[in-house]
Amino acid sequence: MLILGIESSCDETAAAVLANGERLLADVINSQVPVHSRYGGVVPELASRKHLENIQPVVTEALRRSGITLDDLDGVAVTRGPGLIGSLLVGFSFAKAIAIVKNLPCAGVDHMAGHLLSVFLGDAKPEFPYVALIASGGHSSIFRVEDPYTFRLLGRTRDDAAGEAFDKVAKLLRLPYPGGPEIGRRAEGGDPRAIDFPRSWLEPGSFDFSFSGIKTAVATFVQQREQRGEPLPLADLCASFQEAVIEILAEKALLAAGESGCPRVVLAGGVAANCRLREYLAARGSEEGVQVFVPPVEFCTDNGAMIALAGTHLLRAGRTLGLDADVYSRFQLG
């Protein structure tokens, strides 16, 4: 079963070809980071225009690298939401057009479901059910994944997403966009205990997150230092901020695993590329008797392979899109 997966929900135009839900033949990603970096964040109108320019070359390249043509495909999978409407529509219309012209079934994949299943693109695959922590630029949520189609939401952020907090703090520190990897690098030389930033645990037993308070705490710290004319301890600041965010993400995921009775935690989303988060979760997981699974770094950030994978499951179950199906912008999984 050869499936073409297309992703265009935010600022990556991506296409992949997956055979039988397990063998990746090609995975092509065109990142728009250089386009948006000068604005310090994704500009939706520019993103849609870039997707329009990129979609055909990216899909063509994925087919070329796979050594196939559209005639060899058994189905198409495409991100339906959540995301930026203008961006989503580019990939979605392109996928539908292929499906109509080639008379192929088309699956509409929830972007979050793609992230939640992306771990199966790596070698270490968890058993179902498992608890998954998604931490990206747009979302921070904890799910219990029952099977490839059933996702139960246990908690989500009440304000900023974890990646958004990284990006906003980086902007405050005048570091380049995207801020997450930049803060991760700066934190390597710093002391994570140097500055005691607040950890927002919310009510006992809650798996929700809140990251706006820590962002304000960093802003206040920076303002006070600048008013006193003192230099910023950049490495310590990055390390301490990163540690606070990571501790909350990891501890809540482990707690959710304990409470929902499945001792397996899967990490997903762009922030899962953070080395300290991976290291912290692995160490605390082994203390708590929880197995930790992390997708290879290239499948943590947005990609077409995870959409092809989630779409393969939908197509196998006969869950295909009608011609009148549309995209959606808001979070709705679980």
CB of 288 to Zn ion, least distance (A): 27
Question: Which is closer to ligand KG4, CB of 61 or CB of 298?
Answer: 298
Site residues for ligand KG4, window 14-53 (CB under 6 A)? Answer: none
CB of 134 to Zn ion, least distance (A): 8
Q: What amino acid occupies position 137?
A: G
**Can residue 160 be called a binding residue for ligand KG4 (CB under 6 A)?**
no
**Can residue 302 be called a binding residue for ligand KG4 (CB under 6 A)?**
yes
Give the span between the Cα atoms of 118 and 148, in whole angstroms. Answer: 11
**Can residue 75 be called a binding residue for ligand KG4 (CB under 6 A)?**
no
Contact between 246 and 276 under an 8 Å Cβ cutoff? The reply is: yes
Question: Which is closer to ligand KG4, CB of 102 or CB of 156?
Answer: 156
CB of 98 to ligand KG4, least distance (A): 24
Site residues for Zn ion, window 110-149 (CB under 5 A)? Answer: 136
Site residues for ligand KG4, window 109-138 (CB under 6 A)? Answer: 136-138
**Can residue 184 be called a binding residue for ligand KG4 (CB under 6 A)?**
yes
Stretch that binds ligand KG4, among 177-185, 190-198, 199-207, 306-314 (CB under 6 A): 177-185
Backbone φ, ψ for residue 62 (5° rounding): -65, -40
Contact between 117 and 123 under an 8 Å Cβ cutoff? The reply is: no
Question: Which is closer to Zn ion, CB of 208 or CB of 302?
Answer: 302
Q: What amino acid occupies position 245?
A: V
Angle at CA 5, nearest 5°, toward 267 and 31?
70
Q: What number of other Cβ atoms are within 10 A of residue 123's Cβ?
A: 6
**Can residue 301 be called a binding residue for ligand KG4 (CB under 6 A)?**
yes
User: In the chain, where does DSSP find H-type helix?
Assistant: 33-36, 44-66, 85-102, 111-117, 162-172, 179-187, 212-227, 234-259, 275-288, 305-316
Contact between 120 and 127 under an 8 Å Cβ cutoff? The reply is: no
**Can residue 236 be called a binding residue for Zn ion (CB under 5 A)?**
no
Nearest residue to 41 (alpha-carbon basis) of 191, 215, 192, 177: 177
Q: Which of 21, 75, 178, 311 binds ligand KG4 (CB under 6 A)?
A: 178
Inter-axis angle of helices 234-259 and 162-172, nearest 10: 170
Binding-site size for ligand KG4 (CB under 6 A) equals 19
Stretch that binds ligand KG4, among 53-61, 92-100, 179-187, 213-221 (CB under 6 A): 179-187
**Can residue 312 be called a binding residue for Zn ion (CB under 5 A)?**
no
Stretch that binds Zn ion, among 26-34, 226-234, 301-309, 316-324 (CB under 5 A): 301-309
**Can residue 295 be called a binding residue for ligand KG4 (CB under 6 A)?**
no
Site residues for ligand KG4, window 215-274 (CB under 6 A)? Answer: 269-271, 273-274
**Can residue 180 be called a binding residue for ligand KG4 (CB under 6 A)?**
yes
Contacts of 97 (CB under 8 A, 6+ apart): none
Got the DSSP string for 169-217? HHHHTTPPSSHHHHHHHHHTTS-TTSS-------STT---B--HHHHHH
Q: Which residues bind ligand KG4 (CB under 6 A)?
A: 10, 136-138, 163, 166-167, 178-181, 184, 269-271, 273-274, 301-302
Interface ranges with Zn ion (CB under 5 A): 136, 302
